[in-house]
C-alpha cells in the first residue's frame, strides 16, 4: 500500500469498490490518469501536469 492519509482498511475499501465497478463494466485493467482520482484511490499526492503519471489497477494484483 502506498503512503496515504487514510487507514489500511480505508485503502482496502476504496480498492474493493474500484474493482467492483471495474467488474461491473467488464474492465480487466484500469488506468487512472487524473491526479484527484489517483489521490483518492492511493493517497498519492504527486500533482504534476508536466510529467505523465498514472495508476494501473489490475483486477487481481496490487496497483502499480
pLDDT band for position 64 (50/70/90)? Answer: very high
Greater confidence, 50 or 24? 24
Q: Is the dihedral of CA 16, 61, 37, 6 positive or negative?
A: positive
Three cell numbers, residue 25? 463494466
Rounded Cα distance, 25 and 62, in Å: 20
Residue 3 has pLDDT above 70, yes or no: no
Q: Where are the domains positioned within the chain?
A: 8-58
Place of cell 482496502: 12
Q: Which helix (H) or strand (E) holds 56?
A: strand 55-58
Cβ atoms of 10 and 1 within 8 Å: the answer is: no
| pLDDT, tens only, 7-48 | 999 999 999 999 999 999 999 999 999 888 999 999 888 777
Amino acid at each position: 500500500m502506498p503512503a496515504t492519509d487514510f487507514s489500511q482498511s480505508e485503502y482496502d475499501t476504496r480498492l474493493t469498490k474500484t474493482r467492483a465497478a471495474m467488474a461491473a463494466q467488464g474492465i480487466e485493467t484500469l488506468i487512472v490518469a487524473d491526479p484527484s482520482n489517483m489521490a483518492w484511490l492511493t493517497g498519492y499526492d504527486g500533482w504534476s501536469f508536466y510529467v505523465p503519471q498514472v495508476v494501473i489497477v489490475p483486477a487481481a494484483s496490487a496497483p502499480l
